[in-house]
């Protein structure tokens, strides 16, 4: 395993065979600058431990549910789910990440494979959501993973009476135990995305600043408006700029345009294009964990603060 020194960015080789037992984290001292970097491991699946209902840590309504959605692929939905999730957990919030995409990119990005999923929950006798939740090695962060069997759920339920409420109803079992529930969705508006929108208080629409993005964002916001009118009156929507390249004139032009079109919906925080995030993904790590001082990691922490502060006001 390669660990990047937080201070001097030196790449350090760690012999994984020496990490035995139930070790969750370890420190590596950089031979160059002598700085110690702590690394949290993506652990194996463990059952969820009971969490006390409310420690009065948070003034935010328990189980605030946030869907990360855009029908366009490659706009950083999965990266935002993972890094916002960890940023909220690092801000002492109890966070459940839900991988609601058959591709299971979020699950894989966290280093898990061959896990149970919401499909297993829906096919079990008691439909007990706890049975599929994994407590990750990141303090405060849980995961409801996905796997390829999830496609069977869509085949079985899509279009049936009240299919939109399946996730919402299941989440009622665990909402009180989490401050935030974050749902990663596929790049299309179908069974999974409609269920996620129905279950959520807030929809975050990540978008790059490219030519067609203003059009695409408008389309997603219209769909969210429709869901608000027909199914879920409490859902709000916000736009998040991702992979922003401030050196590119085209990026700046489209950023200005998005700001003028959706001024009341834009997050102040902008996530920059950052090679560190791509490296972190290869290591199955959130970027904040891979390189705490990375530009994107710092901005995801800022986004978490903006969300927490925003909810106190709303």
Ligand X SMILES: Nc1ncnc2c1ncn2[C@@H]1O[C@H](COP(=O)(O)OP(=O)(O)O)[C@@H](O)[C@H]1O
User: Which parts of this chain interact with ligand X (CB under 6 A)?
Assistant: 73-79, 105, 187, 242-243, 271, 273-274, 277-278, 281, 296
Q: Round to whole Å and give the CA distance between 274 and 237.
A: 25
Considering the complex, what minimum distance in angstroms separates the CB of residue 292 from ligand X? 16
**Helices (H) and strands (E) in the chain — how many of each?**
11, 12
Considering the complex, what minimum distance in angstroms separates the CB of residue 101 from Mg ion? 6
- In the 3-class helix/strand/coil scheme, how is 43-76 assigned residue by residue? CCCCCCCCCCCCCCCCCCCCCEEEEECCCCCCCC
What residue number has its CB nearest to Mg ion? 78
Contact 235, 224 (CB under 8 A): yes
Considering the complex, what minimum distance in angstroms separates the CB of residue 220 from ligand X? 12
Contact pattern from residue 92 through residue 121 relative to Mg ion, giving x for each residue in contact according to CB under 5 A and a dash for the rest: -------------x----------------
Considering the complex, what minimum distance in angstroms separates the CB of residue 144 from ligand X? 17
Strand partners, 96: 142, 181
Which residue from 37, 58, 69, 78 is in contact with Mg ion, where contact means CB under 5 A? 78
Contact 184, 100 (CB under 8 A): yes
Q: Which positions ≥6 away from 129 have C-beta within 8 Å? A: 121, 144, 170, 171, 173, 174
* Interface with Mg ion, residue 70, by CB under 5 A: no
Considering the complex, what minimum distance in angstroms separates the CB of residue 74 from ligand X? 4
Q: Which is nearer to Mg ion, 77 or 119 (CB)?
A: 77
Q: Which helix (H) or strand (E) holds 221?
A: helix 213-230
Considering the complex, what minimum distance in angstroms separates the CB of residue 204 from Mg ion? 13
Q: Which is nearer to ligand X, 33 or 282 (CB)?
A: 282
Q: Round to whole Å and give the CA distance between 215 and 63.
A: 32
Q: Round to whole Å and give the CA distance between 97 and 134.
A: 10
Which residue from 37, 58, 77, 307 is in contact with Mg ion, where contact means CB under 5 A? 77
Q: Which is nearer to ligand X, 67 or 75 (CB)?
A: 75
Q: Which is nearer to Mg ion, 105 or 116 (CB)?
A: 105
Q: Which is nearer to ligand X, 105 or 195 (CB)?
A: 105
Q: Which is nearer to Mg ion, 77 or 93 (CB)?
A: 77
């Amino acid at each position: 395993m390669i660990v990047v020194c937080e201070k001097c960015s030196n790449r350090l080789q760690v012999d994984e065979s020496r990490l035995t037992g139930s070790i969750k984290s370890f420190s590596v001292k950089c031979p160059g600058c002598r700085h110690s970097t702590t690394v949290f491991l993506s652990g194996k699946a463990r059952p969820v431990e009971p969490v006390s209902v409310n420690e009065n840590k948070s003034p935010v309504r328990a189980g605030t549910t946030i869907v990360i959605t855009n029908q366009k692929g490659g706009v950083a939905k999965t990266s935002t789910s993972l890094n916002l999730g960890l940023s909220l957990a690092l801000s002492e919030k109890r966070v459940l990440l839900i991988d609601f995409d058959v591709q299971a990119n979020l699950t894989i990005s966290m280093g898990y494979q061959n896990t149970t999923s919401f499909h297993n929950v829906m096919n079990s006798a008691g439909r007990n959501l706890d049975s599929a939740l994994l407590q990750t090695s990141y303090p405060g962060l849980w995961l409801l993973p996905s796997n390829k069997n999830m496609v069977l759920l869509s085949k079985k339920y899509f279009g049936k009476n009240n299919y939109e409420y399946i996730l919402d109803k299941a989440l009622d079992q665990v909402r009180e135990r989490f401050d935030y529930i974050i749902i990663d969705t596929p790049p299309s508006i179908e069974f999974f995305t409609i269920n996620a929108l129905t279950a959520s208080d807030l929809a975050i629409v990540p978008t790059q600043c490219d030519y067609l993005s203003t059009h695409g964002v408008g389309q997603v916001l219209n769909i969210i408006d429709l869901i608000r009118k027909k199914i879920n009156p409490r859902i709000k929507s916000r736009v998040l700029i991702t992979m922003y390249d401030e050196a590119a004139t085209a990026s700046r032009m489209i950023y200005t345009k998005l700001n003028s079109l959706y001024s009341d919906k834009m997050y102040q925080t902008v996530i920059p294009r950052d090679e560190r995030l791509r490296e972190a993904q290869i290591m199955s790590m959130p970027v904040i964990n891979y390189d705490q001082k990375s530009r994107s990691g710092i901005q995801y922490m800022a986004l978490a603060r903006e969300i927490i502060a925003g909810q106190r006001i709303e």
